[in-house]
Structure 1
């Protein structure tokens, strides 16, 4: 892939990579609750999920999603249900959102990673974005899988960097959350946002 083509892909992918979505709000939630270090694990899970989607698109996931109403519907409702569950859990949680570093109540690293991974791979929006971004940059004369791998790693890296910025803001976010009233408001905003994303996902059409 020519460097000019790759740089153009980076420029075009920047906006969707930083646009608010379920993964971004999950990163915000984790940063406020557990600090920036915890968010890095969820960022890694999201990045791996995006790479899986990108590589799967190169071997036919796009065709399956476009032609199989059942595949689209199953994935859509799994993702929607999980987001709504996260939203309700966040809204109803009465514990303090800011945990001490090393707190036993903080999820294990694998839990943070797997939750973000699941949110990523069950989000048809992410699949649609990747399927819309990748084809114009894959040359039919080249190795499609290799090109898709380069694009997948690039897009996942952009999203990871966006989450890393959120993680680096951890101190300021946690200081902001020192007030119980702010905690209640932010928890409800995050919870409602997750439920909203789930509802939109459930109503999405192919």
Structure 2
């Protein structure tokens, strides 16, 4: 891929990469609950999920999602149910948002956080459709080039990872503001409510 075309791809990808969504909310939630390293683990899971989606699009799964109402509905309902489950869990998990002296609560295992973010990524049909719409504009029309799709997939995943890493490193500043139990209670409710809202919106979304 020519460097000038790749730079255009990076510029075009920045907006969807940093736009608020379930993955960004999960990064913020993990930063507040468990700290920087936990968010980096979940950011890695999200990035791997995006790479998987990129290769799936190259193999035709994205086209299936765009044309098959059944496939789209099944995946969106799975993704919606998982987001609603996460929202209820965050809303009820008082210990996860309890801070002492600005320190995060004891975090879940890195593997569990990685897997959680990976599932959020690959069960989001909107992410699949964004990649389906974006990637073909930068791919040669005469067939699949795995080197080309690798560059696009890893570039987009890296942009999303950098966005989540920025959230992770900003966590200390956020936690200093949220040392108040009352503020944390509202953060827990708002974060849980947003996850449920994303899940509900996803469940009712059309292609």
- The TM-score normalised by the length of structure 1 is 0.94
In the alignment, does 2:99 pair up with 1:88? no
**Matched length:** 205
1:178 is matched with 179
The one-character-per-residue Cα deviations of 1:114-172 (angstroms, maximum 9, x if unpaired) are: 00000000001111110111011001247532211110000000000000000111211
Matching of residues 1-206 of structure 1 within 5 Å: 1-95=1-95, 97-98=97-98, 105-141=106-142, 143-206=144-207
- Say whether the 8 Å CA contact 2:34–2:96 is kept in structure 1: no
- Say whether the 8 Å CA contact 2:42–2:118 is kept in structure 1: yes
Q: How many angstroms apart in 2 are the aligned matches of 1:96 and 1:42? A: 16
* Cα displacement (A) at 1:16: 0.7
The one-character-per-residue Cα deviations of 1:52-94 (angstroms, maximum 9, x if unpaired) are: 0011000010121123222111110000000001111111222
- Provide the aligned C-alpha RMSD in A: 1.6
Q: Which runs of 5+ in 2 are unaligned?
A: none
- Say whether the 8 Å CA contact 1:35–1:174 is kept in structure 2: no
